[in-house]
């Protein structure tokens, strides 16, 4: 059975999206190879640095997902998206609008606005957002190709703190739900995939691992395992164990 991640008509075999923000450039290549990632995010503000153009480190065949980090409102996100397009990064754009320097939480209101503006301009917007049902609906209606709810505050490695709310998005929003930010361990990535997330995006957890290449591979395997479990249909996990023979078997007629 073919099981592909489809975003705006584009097919991907891997459900692991690798962030590049906190990477050692020289290790990106190896991590992409070992994680099997086909999408790699890229901060527009990091493109073309003299210390090595980050674009040079992206292996061929990998789809770039530039992000608008640095934007504090919708208008700035649009400006940055246009810079990405000019730099030859394609039409995919991960919208990041952050108006708080302490927690770096996404601003859903401005993000939804940016989504609409960018979709109208021919971009394929993938908003990074706080998992709120109404905001996710707005983003979908505005033309989002996927939504990327956060699992926990960025860089916190706290795992699936927002699990119940992401579950609601998975149920209600007919778009790929890509869990982004906060995933600290492969087990947490697996857990998100098991409940039906479409893909996982991770960066800090891998960037700060003792062995980056090995951790990238661990994530890859965990995501595959979680996806398989989801497709297989996890057995019912009830609050109490159910009896192996029916409790109502004595009924005669």
Partner 1 sequence: MEERIDHMKYLPGMEVIESDIQEQVISRMNAYDYSRYTETDVKRALAAEYPSVEDFAALLSPAAEPFLEQMAAKATIETRKHFGSSVYLFTPLYIANYCENYCVYCGFNCHNKIRRAKLDKDGIRREMEAIAKTGMEEILILTGESRKMSDVEYIGEACSIAHEYFKNVGIEVYPMNTDEYKYLHEHGADYVTVFQETYNSDKYETLHLAGHKRIFPYRLNAQERAIRGGMRGVAFAALLGLDDFRKDAFAAGVHAYLIQRKYPHAEISFSCPRLRPIINNDKINPKDVHERQLLQVMTAFRIFMPFAGLTISTRERAGFRDNVVGMCATKISAGVSTGIGSHTEEESLGDNQFEISDDRTLDEVCDAIRARGLQPVMNDYVYVG
Q: Among 3, 4, 11, 22, which residue sits at the site for partner 1 (rule: CB under 8 A)?
A: 22
Q: Which is nearer to partner 1, 111 or 157 (CB)?
A: 157
The span of 149-157, 174-182, 185-193, 228-236 binding partner 1 (CB under 8 A) equals: 149-157
Token readout for 213 is 């290449």
Q: Just list the catalytic residues.
A: 94
Q: Taking CB under 8 A as the rule, does residue 51 contact partner 1?
A: yes
Start-to-end CA distance of the chain, whole Å, equals 44
In the list 4, 6, 49, 59, the residue contacting partner 1 (rule: CB under 8 A) is: 49
| By CB under 8 A, residue 120 contacts partner 1 | no
The smaller minimum CB distance to partner 1, of residues 51 and 242, is found at 51
Q: Binding to partner 1 by residue 167, rule CB under 8 A?
A: no
- Please, are residues 151 and 108 in contact by the beta-carbon 8 Å criterion? no
**Extended beta strands in 157-226, E state:** 178-180, 199-202
Q: Closest separation between CB of residue 82 and partner 1, Å?
A: 10
Residue 99 or residue 120: which is nearer to partner 1 going by CB?
99
- Cα(156)–Cα(151) distance, rounded to whole angstroms? 10
> Is residue 204 a contact residue for partner 1 (CB under 8 A)?
yes
Closest among 12, 17, 2, 65 to 178, alpha carbons compared: 17
In the complex, the smallest distance separating the C-beta of residue 79 from partner 1, rounded to whole angstroms, is 5
- CA-to-CA separations, 149 to 46, 69, 104, in angstroms, rounded: 23, 15, 13
The correct pick among 10, 62, 63, 70 for binding partner 1 (CB under 8 A) is: 70
Neighbouring CB atoms inside 10 A of 187's CB total 14
Q: Any residues with CB less than 8 A from the CB of 73 and at least 6 apart, and which?
A: 97, 99, 107, 110
Nearest to partner 1 of 167, 185 (CB atom): 185
- What b/e string do you get for 209-230 counting C-beta neighbours within 10 Å, with b at 16 or more? beebeebbbbbbebbbbbbebb
145 is a contact residue toward partner 1 (CB under 8 A) = no
Q: Does the protein bind partner 1 through residue 211 (CB under 8 A)?
A: no
Q: How many residues bind partner 1 (CB under 8 A)?
A: 33
Only one of the segments 6-14, 67-75, 88-96, 128-136 lies at the binding site for partner 1 (rule: CB under 8 A); that segment is 67-75
Beta bridge partners of 95: 127
Planar angle of CA 60, 63, 66, nearest 5 degrees? 120
Positions that interact with partner 1 (CB under 8 A):
21-25, 43-46, 49-51, 70-72, 76, 79-80, 83, 98-104, 155-157, 203-204, 207-208
């Amino acid at each position: 059975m073919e099981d592909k991640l489809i975003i705006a008509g584009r097919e991907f075999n891997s459900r692991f999206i690798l962030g590049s923000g906190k990477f050692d450039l020289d290790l990106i290549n190896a991590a992409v190879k070992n994680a099997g990632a086909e999408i790699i995010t890229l901060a527009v503000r990091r493109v073309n640095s003299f210390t090595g153009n980050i674009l040079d480190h992206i292996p061929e065949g990998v789809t770039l997902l530039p992000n608008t980090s640095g934007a504090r409102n919708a208008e700035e996100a649009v400006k940055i998206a246009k810079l990405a397009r000019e730099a030859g990064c394609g039409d995919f754009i991960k919208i990041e609008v952050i108006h708080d320097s302490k927690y770096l939480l996404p601003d859903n209101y401005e993000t939804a606005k940016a989504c609409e503006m960018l979709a109208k301009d021919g971009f394929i917007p993938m908003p990074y957002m706080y998992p709120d049902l109404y905001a996710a609906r707005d983003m979908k209606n505005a033309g989002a190709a996927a939504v990327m709810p956060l699992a926990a505050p960025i860089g916190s490695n706290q795992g699936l703190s927002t699990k119940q709310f992401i579950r609601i998005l998975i149920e209600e929003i007919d778009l790929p739900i890509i869990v982004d930010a906060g995933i600290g361990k492969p087990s947490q990535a697996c857990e998100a995939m098991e409940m039906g997330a479409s893909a996982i995006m991770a960066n800090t957890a891998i960037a700060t691992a003792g062995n980056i290449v090995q951790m990238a591979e661990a994530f890859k395997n965990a995501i595959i395992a979680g996806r398989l479990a989801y497709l297989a249909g996890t057995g019912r996990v009830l609050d109490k164990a159910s009896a192996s023979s029916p409790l109502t078997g004595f009924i005669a007629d």
